[in-house]
């Protein structure tokens, strides 16, 4: 990871780059942070880097010294740098943006001051404007430190435990679970009993449930980009329903691949025609994958009964995913919320024809995730729906 910071106050970063986790990462060569003093490129005897704004207003950092400083910063790395400008007008910094920045060969961060940077320079040179929140700071140095700190956590070896990064808030789009340390009792408040018992599986389940509870209560807006599969309490099953002739030979492989990609249980096929089931069983047997070999049933009731027996009676959340939104159907975000709140397995049913599932089994919620347009192939619909509902990184 290589970052260069262009600033009029390089001394601001002394302790930041030599202290704690980041300081150790810099010393070990895992993170490289260069500083370019903008004042070295100022004009005149006073090294002027700013001037009055046209049309009245405060001081603005001028384009000529900024361009010279950026050119010098670019020479410290290979190729064209990716230029970031912390600004109240920028998009909000997110974990996804941080991950994208970490993948760049060389990131240059321009620290603004006063009223900001000359807009002509911004338009020509800046690749990304970001803000750390809906507030105004005196300069870009604090946001620059936040960006560098967030990026460094994603560099292998910087944080001691790799799983600690994966458990961070926002890493999977969810908030983190609560944390406690000694003493076990403090001023009448005790640590949850499950954390004192030493059962790793129970602790993991508790933490996962608390992360879900926090996210739904405090930041439900995060669900749109959350990868929720690891936070569900039960298995997820993908079932497709229709006549065997609409399932071409590669179809079984595609469905199995989807189940593997999203960490689902064995794929389920519901085919009412006996000869169709035999044909599908023959095609599935040729695949030779016992781990995700499909289960083929003659009715939806039998498929549901198999899942419930396999899950030892846990309540099953049944969701029919249709081609288009209809009266009473759920938005994808609402489906995600229902899945997170449900204390058991989930069945996502994809009927080839929407009317096929009606009347066969009650208790289904309806997800209408596709709004008009040409109908996609069934595997494409399933892939889009799984990504919208379960999410992925």
Catalytic residues: 88, 115, 153, 168
Read off φ and ψ for residue 269, nearest 5 degrees. Answer: -120, 135
Nearest to 139 by CA among 118, 113, 117: 113
Q: Which helix (H) or strand (E) holds 61?
A: strand 59-61
Residue 184 neighbours by CB under 8 Å, 6+ apart: 190, 191, 196
Read off φ and ψ for residue 270, nearest 5 degrees. Answer: -115, 110
User: What gap in Å lies between CA 233 and CA 199, rounded to an integer?
Assistant: 17
Q: Which helix (H) or strand (E) holds 281?
A: helix 274-287
How far does the chain reach from its first CA to its final CA, in angstroms? Answer: 21
Read off φ and ψ for residue 390, nearest 5 degrees. Answer: -90, -30
CA 254 to chain centre: 24
CB 167 within 8 A of CB 208: no
What residues are paired with 239 via a beta bridge? 268, 349
């Amino acid at each position: 990871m290589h970052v260069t910071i262009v600033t009029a106050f390089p001394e601001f970063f002394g302790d930041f780059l030599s202290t704690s986790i980041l300081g150790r990462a810099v010393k070990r060569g895992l993170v490289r942070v260069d500083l370019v003093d903008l004042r070295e490129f100022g004009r005149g005897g006073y090294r002027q880097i700013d001037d009055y704004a046209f049309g009245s207003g405060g001081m603005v950092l001028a384009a000529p010294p900024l361009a010279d400083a950026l050119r010098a910063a670019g020479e410290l790395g290979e190729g064209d740098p990716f230029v970031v400008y912390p600004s109240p007008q920028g998009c909000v910094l997110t974990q996804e943006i941080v991950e994208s920045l970490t993948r760049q060969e060389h990131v240059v961060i321009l620290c603004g001051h006063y009223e900001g940077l000359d807009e002509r320079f911004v338009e020509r040179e800046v690749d990304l404007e970001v803000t750390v929140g809906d507030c105004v700071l005196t300069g870009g140095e604090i946001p620059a430190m936040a960006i560098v700190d967030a990026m460094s956590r994603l560099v292998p070896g910087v944080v001691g435990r790799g799983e600690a990064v994966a458990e961070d808030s926002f890493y999977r789009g969810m908030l983190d679970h609560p944390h406690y340390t000694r003493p076990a009792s403090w001023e009448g408040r005790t640590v949850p009993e499950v954390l004192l018992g030493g059962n790793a599986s129970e602790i993991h389940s508790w933490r996962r449930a608390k992360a879900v509870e926090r996210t739904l209560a405090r930041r439900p807006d995060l669900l749109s980009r959350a990868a929720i599969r690891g936070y569900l309490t039960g298995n997820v099953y993908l079932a497709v329903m229709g006549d065997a002739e609409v399932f071409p030979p590669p179809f079984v492989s595609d469905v199995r691949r989807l189940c593997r990609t999203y960490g689902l249980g064995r794929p389920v096929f519901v085919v009412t025609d006996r000869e169709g089931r035999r044909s599908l069983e023959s095609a599935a047997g040729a695949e030779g994958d016992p781990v995700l070999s499909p289960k083929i049933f003659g009715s939806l009731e039998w498929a549901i009964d198999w899942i419930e027996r396999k899950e030892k009676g846990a309540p099953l959340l049944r969701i029919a995913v249709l081609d288009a939104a209809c009266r009473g159907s759920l938005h994808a975000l609402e489906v995600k919320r229902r899945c997170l709140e449900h204390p058991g397995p989930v069945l996502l049913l994809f009927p080839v024809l929407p009317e096929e599932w009606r009347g066969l089994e009650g208790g289904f919620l309806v997800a209408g995730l596709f709004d008009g347009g040409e109908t996609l192939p069934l595997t494409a619909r399933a892939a889009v729906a799984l990504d919208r509902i379960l999410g992925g990184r």
